[in-house]
Chains A and B, each alone.
Chain A
Amino acid sequence: MSETLYSIAVEVNGTKRVGQVSARTSLVDWLREHLNLTGTHIGCEHGICGACSIMLDGEPVRSCLMYAVQADGHSITTVEGLARPDGQLSILQDSFCETHGLQCGYCTPGMLIAAQALLDANPRPTEEQIRDAIGGNLCRCTGYQQIVDAIALAAERMAGGAA
């Protein structure tokens, strides 16, 4: 059977990307399968686990709960867009390494997006605010403590002006 294809143009990590998608293609499938941006993970595919979190116009959302066609004309940041321009890890990413904020790594892209969105909006979060910000992201390895530590460390380093 043939499905109608819709043309879309989306700014992804600062670059305009165009595509032809069927209406039912989820945003995360488009990012992974069409743009080969496989950093964004698919966990539950129905909005529970948070692994597919991306930023849509600067706000974190679940990319499994949007269709790619809905992103037409919008701007997206995926985990690939968090590193520094030279490819070095960002302060936040580096903090995850330092505090052992990941084990299997499956939830990490979503955690990084949720954490980056928090720090963008609130550079000096309390522990409670950190826990609330990652409340929609499941991790089955770490017990969350090291992730909370990583975000707190990143906030501290950013406040210290460490570029």
Chain B
Amino acid sequence: MKSPPFEYARTASIEEACGLLSQHGDAAKLIAGGQSLVPMLAFRLLRPSWLIDINEIAALKLVAFETDTVRIGACTRQCVVARDDALAARVPLLQQALVFVGHTQTRNRGTIGGSLAHADPSAELPLVAQILQARLELRAKSGTRTLSAAEFFAGPMMTNLQPDECLEAIHWPVWRERKTGSAFTEISRRHGDFAMVAAAAQIAVDDDGRCTRVTFGVGGAAPTPVAFPELAQSLIGHGLDKTKSRAVAQAAAAALEPDSDTHASAAYRRHLAGVLLSRVLLEAYDTARSVP
């Protein structure tokens, strides 16, 4: 399947890209890695008149360690983040999730921002953004604004990006607690496929093994990735064992209303959510506790 005709503009700066977006509006789409966009064009799911290429904009590929966040330019390749051990020391969930994102060939082109802007409900990076409460910097010709992940994701393959806006960078919170652990897992038909259900957790504990900060969530079981802040809050001040993690995971899974499709029934997705959440909670907790 060949893509339908379109006009192409390679841009050298984000200002130039935003200028073209403002000029063409709905008729234009940004292309970053193209790993989802190109198949969508081939399938005629999209018919943009213009593709505005942001791959050559160096400013969109910067990774900067700031005080309490890591700022990653939206066009940073997934492979670059997956290889960055200094980044993994600050936001370990990114590297843990990227293991499950596509394959070497797609991670070499696919970008961090592209995965978020595509907003597949089963995708791994949106789940990490959701549970860490990442903040997304958006830029239009008229100005900039910042949305939390919860505000950014609007539904399956839908975001609150306006047609004239470009995702510029993502701020990933860094947890400063010494004893912090995280875990990511998923079940998919084949390795590299989108998850049927994915689960992620990050937990900080004190020296006595009591949780001081907890976040966790699932992907693939709702129109957007879901975090469970109230249940996470209920763990503060407590330790975590198999029984407790299973109970919390079951409570989270019971609150989900997943869809059935050819890959998995709603009941199976809910079951997976419970099992996988229980695993990541325990793994994140044990990792946090084992930090000397």
Contact = CB atoms under 8 A, between A and B. Distances in A.
Interface of A: 1, 3-4, 6, 22-24, 26, 29, 45-47, 50, 53, 56, 59-62, 64-67, 69-70, 72, 114, 117, 132-133, 135-136
Given A50-B105, A60-B104, A136 B192 contact: yes
Interface stretch (B1-9, B127-135, B202-210, B244-252): B1-9
Given A46-B1, A70-B53, A24 B6 contact: yes
Across chains A and B, which 9 residue pairs bring their CB atoms closest together, nearest first? A136-B103, A23-B8, A46-B39, A24-B3, A59-B108, A65-B38, A60-B105, A136-B105, A61-B109
Nearest to A29: B2
Nearest to A72: B10
A62 B39 contact: no
Given A46-B43, A61-B109, A65-B109, A135 B103 contact: yes
Interface string B170-201: 00000000000000000000011000000000
B108 A60 contact: yes
20 contacts: A23-B5, A24-B2, A24-B6, A26-B2, A26-B38, A47-B106, A50-B103, A53-B105, A59-B108, A60-B105, A61-B108, A65-B38, A65-B106, A65-B109, A66-B38, A69-B8, A70-B53, A117-B104, A132-B104, A136-B192
Nearest to B77: A59
Contacts of A72: 10
Interface string B47-75: 00001010100000000000000000000
A50 B192 CA distance: 13
A38 to B, nearest CB: 17
Interface residues of B, number: 30
Contact of B104 (A26, A70, A133): A133
A154 B271 CA distance: 44
B79 interface: yes
Given A59-B79, A65-B39, A24 B106 contact: no
B148 interface: no
Given A45-B42, A62-B106, A67-B38, 4 more contacts: A24-B5, A46-B39, A65-B35, A136-B102
B34 interface: yes
B189 to A, nearest CB: 12
A46 to B, nearest CB: 4
Contacts of B34: 65-67, 70
A24 B79 contact: no
Contacts of B2: 24, 26, 29, 45
Contacts of A133: 104
Interface string B1-27: 111111110100000000000000000
B108 A56 contact: yes
Contacts of B6: 23-24
A65 B55 CA distance: 14
A1 B5 contact: yes
Contact of A62 (B7, B31, B109): B109
A151 to B, nearest CB: 13
A47 B104 contact: no
B1 A114 contact: no
Nearest to A4: B7
A26 B3 contact: yes
Given A46-B39, A62-B109, A6 B8 contact: yes
Contacts of B106: 47, 61-62, 65, 136
Nearest to B51: A23
Contacts of A6: 8
